Amino acid sequence: MASSEVHPGSEPSRWAYLDRVRTRPGPFTNPDMFNAEGVVAAMEKMKVLVIGAGGLGCELLKNLALSGFKNIHVIDMDTIDISNLNRQFLFRQADVGSSKAEVAARFVEKRVKGVKITPHNNKIQDFDEDFYMQFQLVVCGLDSIEARRWINATLVNMVDEDVEDSYKPLIDGGTEGFKGQARVIIPTVTSCIECQLDMHAPRAAVPLCTLASIPRQPEHCIEWAHVIAWDQEKPFPQLDKDDPEHITWLYQKALLRAREFNIPGVTYSLTQGVVKNIIPAIAATNSVIAAACCNEALKIASNCAPFLGLPDDNYMMYSGNDSIYTYTFRHEKKDDCPVCGQLARDLPVDPAWTLRELVDSFAARPEAQLKKPSVRGEGKTLYMQSPASLEAQTRPNLDKTLAELGLEDGQEIGVTDPAFATVVFKFRLRFKQ
């Protein structure tokens, strides 16, 4: 890996095998959707967004670039840490401290001629819907559920039933140790990340009482130092999990507690692992999952073979714990999914209405017929029927007009009613002029 120069002779033949796959139909190709002549040009025009330039992201960028995508953007807010170098193969020791997105983009551009990679050293939340609208495909290699939920909700919200280009397929890869998953989400059409939240095994939390009274494992002692001792003694104003001094403090505390209960095994690196909730990343798992994700991207873009998502299977799970096992299935859409379950319906209202008139109108609307509706907008509680204190606080709003309450045309409101335990109604206010 000393030289990163491309052998000039390899360039033309580099694409030969890829072209055989994407320009020729296979036994499962849908002839109505496949266009052999246009595939290459269409893929080269397509803009793909990769979210995350870490373990999965490095693999994804390399794979996508070698799969014939020419215009790729990558977002990652992190900088390179020395501990990344064992598996995030686009980074070198000299890159430590630099932006992951920038270094990864530069490296792949250098090695794969003709590909343009635009790095964004940002959080995904820094961009708005206009930004995400420019892509035809989003591929995620993320390590957090929050970020997945955010991009999922954003892509679902962007769907405009009249605009086909507003449906952005989301390919999501994820790994944890020897396990991983690859899934495809067609926003509002197939089950979304929010529908599938229960697929994430929650972190194995230890009962607080076990930590406080009868620790049995070194991890219990560390969690005790982290959750209980830190709060009691507050050695530093704010716990910084990246500050060695803070971790050392926790380590010493955990060690003392472990001695008291005769528990061996508390080490500095275990302390760091438990406190930062680090699950060892396995390079092989990342490459298997990234390959599966990229395969889906290639199929969606070229239609050379059916892809995950439609009409049946949309979720591939992989486990390398005991030899190798994969299972692909269809995760059903949830009717009551708070993100994709019901999209907001337009609600024509007069800004001169009082809130009471709006609330009463829900009883009359045939699709709602609500007897005790509670109404909220983002950051604004309009009227809550329960609990009692909130009812009293929001009751004065009933006599104000929608305009006086600061509601705007196009604003979304959520309506709930105890009679419909599983249903939440979302409406988009449309002001009558």
Q: Which residues are catalytic?
A: 209
Chain-centre distance of CA 354, in angstroms?
39
Rounded Cα gap, residues 338 and 422, in angstroms: 10
User: Which x/- pattern over 280-319 shows residues binding another protein (rule: CB under 8 A)?
Assistant: --------------------xxxx----------------
Helix, strand, coil % over all residues of the chain, rounded to 5: 40, 15, 45
The dihedrals phi and psi of 367, each to the nearest 5 degrees, come to: -80, -10
Figure out which of the listed residues 390, 398, 400, 401 binds another protein, where binding follows CB under 8 A.
390
CB neighbours of residue 234 within 10 Å: 10
Q: Least Å distance between CB 148 and another protein?
A: 11
Rounded Cα gap, residues 376 and 359, in angstroms: 11
Strands annotated E in 134-262:
137-141, 170-176, 179-185
Figure out which of the listed residues 106, 380, 398, 431 binds another protein, where binding follows CB under 8 A.
380
Structure tokens at 386: 């329960």
The nearer residue to another protein, 11 or 233, going by C-beta atoms, is 233
Figure out which of the listed residues 106, 365, 376, 400 binds another protein, where binding follows CB under 8 A.
376
The nearer residue to another protein, 58 or 211, going by C-beta atoms, is 211
Rounded Cα gap, residues 64 and 55, in angstroms: 15
Nearest to 336 by CA among 399, 425, 247, 253: 425
| Structural element, H or E, at residue 130 | helix 129-133
Figure out which of the listed residues 82, 212, 256, 352 binds another protein, where binding follows CB under 8 A.
212
Asked if 375 and 363 touch (Cβ cutoff 8 Å), the reply is no
Query: Judged by CB under 8 A, how many residues of this single chain contact another protein?
Result: 72
Figure out which of the listed residues 21, 40, 66, 197 binds another protein, where binding follows CB under 8 A.
197
Under the binding rule (CB under 8 A), the answer on residue 338 touching another protein is: yes
Q: Least Å distance between CB 243 and another protein?
A: 23
Rounded Cα gap, residues 180 and 176, in angstroms: 6
Q: Could you tell me which stretch among 107-115, 170-178, 194-202, 322-330 binds another protein (CB under 8 A)? A: 194-202
The nearer residue to another protein, 9 or 379, going by C-beta atoms, is 379
Structure tokens at 64: 């996508």
Under the binding rule (CB under 8 A), the answer on residue 379 touching another protein is: yes
The nearer residue to another protein, 307 or 315, going by C-beta atoms, is 307
Residue numbers 22-51 binding another protein by CB under 8 A:
32-33, 35, 38-39, 42
Secondary structure of residue 347 in the 3-state scheme? strand
Figure out which of the listed residues 13, 232, 323, 433 binds another protein, where binding follows CB under 8 A.
232
Dihedral through CA 142, CA 74, CA 169, CA 427, nearest 10? Answer: 80
Under the binding rule (CB under 8 A), the answer on residue 163 touching another protein is: yes
Rounded Cα gap, residues 366 and 412, in angstroms: 20
Figure out which of the listed residues 209, 238, 262, 264 binds another protein, where binding follows CB under 8 A.
209
Under the binding rule (CB under 8 A), the answer on residue 322 touching another protein is: no
Q: Least Å distance between CB 209 and another protein?
A: 4
Secondary structure of residue 116 in the 3-state scheme? strand
Q: Could you tell me which stretch among 112-120, 239-247, 323-331, 375-383 binds another protein (CB under 8 A)? A: 375-383
Nearest to 290 by CA among 22, 61, 7, 42: 61
The nearer residue to another protein, 84 or 385, going by C-beta atoms, is 385
Q: Assign residue 97 a region (left: φ > 0; alpha: ψ between -120 and 50; beta: otherwise).
A: left
Residue numbers 98-157 binding another protein by CB under 8 A:
128, 136, 145-146, 149, 153, 157
Q: Least Å distance between CB 22 and another protein?
A: 10
Q: Least Å distance between CB 394 and another protein?
A: 6
Secondary structure of residue 160 in the 3-state scheme? strand
Rounded Cα gap, residues 284 and 292, in angstroms: 12
Under the binding rule (CB under 8 A), the answer on residue 208 touching another protein is: yes
Structure tokens at 11: 């360039």
Secondary structure of residue 388 in the 3-state scheme? helix
The nearer residue to another protein, 53 or 339, going by C-beta atoms, is 339
Secondary structure of residue 247 in the 3-state scheme? helix
Nearest to 160 by CA among 379, 428, 366: 428
Q: Least Å distance between CB 213 and another protein?
A: 5
Under the binding rule (CB under 8 A), the answer on residue 200 touching another protein is: yes
Under the binding rule (CB under 8 A), the answer on residue 231 touching another protein is: yes
Under the binding rule (CB under 8 A), the answer on residue 424 touching another protein is: yes
Figure out which of the listed residues 5, 7, 378, 433 binds another protein, where binding follows CB under 8 A.
378
Figure out which of the listed residues 372, 399, 403, 432 binds another protein, where binding follows CB under 8 A.
372
Figure out which of the listed residues 198, 242, 245, 322 binds another protein, where binding follows CB under 8 A.
198
